[in-house]
Amino acid sequence: MRPSRGTAALLIGVCAVGGLAGCTRDSVEPTPEPTVSSSPTATPSPTPTPTTPPEAIAPERPAAIDEVSVAGAEAAATYFLQLYPYAYATGDLSKWNELSDPECAFCQSVIRNVQEQVAASHSSSGSAIAILEVSAWEINVGRYGATVTANEGPSKEYDEAGEVVSERTESEKHVLTYALRHDGSNWRVLELDVETVES
């Protein structure tokens, strides 16, 4: 347990008001009158601020995603994957939906799973994504393919009471293969195949 900071804070406050000289013993003049002591006042301890887990912080949208190019396709594929743990941790599907094509089976399965989790008042943590390798290529005008190799960290799902209802204790390595299209204003993930490989 940490020691209380109430007394130290009180002394520092007195010194600040009285100046540095007022905090030295040599500057205190003896007084004939007895000193009246007052009862110490308890200072409430500051309430600790909960730390937001990394997966609950929206990933930064890369600048290259605005390009209709190989670099843009790589950025879109990487960003889309980084949105995966964020969607599960927060229930926020807005950014995921922006990049998901209605015909993308994997994209739609994530949307259904997150919606079901929210409806059940469940929450998730973990699934941190570490990008190992990314590459993309142009198929034809506005259409690209991409592969991303990444590690996915352990994860947990909790019920409304905070009890763990499912857990994955080991990290997994995945190779994701994308079919992407740029519609002139935004990237869309048309297909996404996920293969789990040996680390």
Q: How many domains does the chain have?
A: 1
Give domain status of residue 166, yes or no: yes
Cα distance between residue 75 and residue 67, in whole Å: 9
- Does residue 5 lie in a domain region? no
Is 154 a member of any domain? yes
Full domain range(s) for residue 187? 68-197
Burial environment of residue 173 by CB neighbours within 10 A (0 to 12, 13 to 18, 19 or more): middle
Q: What is the pLDDT of residues 157-183, one digit of tens each?
A: 999 999 999 999 999 999 999 999 999
Strands, DSSP E only, in the chain? 123-126, 129-140, 143-152, 155-158, 164-168, 172-182, 187-197
In a domain, 49, yes or no: no
Total-model pTM: 0.74
Q: Using one digit for the tens of pLDDT, what is the confidence trace for 32-59?
A: 454 444 444 555 555 545 678 889 999 9
Asked if residue 152 is part of any domain, the answer here is yes
The answer to whether residue 94 sits within a structural domain is: yes
Residue 142 lies in a domain: yes
- Tokens 């927060």 belong to 90
Whether residue 14 is contained in a domain is answered as no
> What is the CATH classification number for the domain harbouring 98?
3.10.450.240
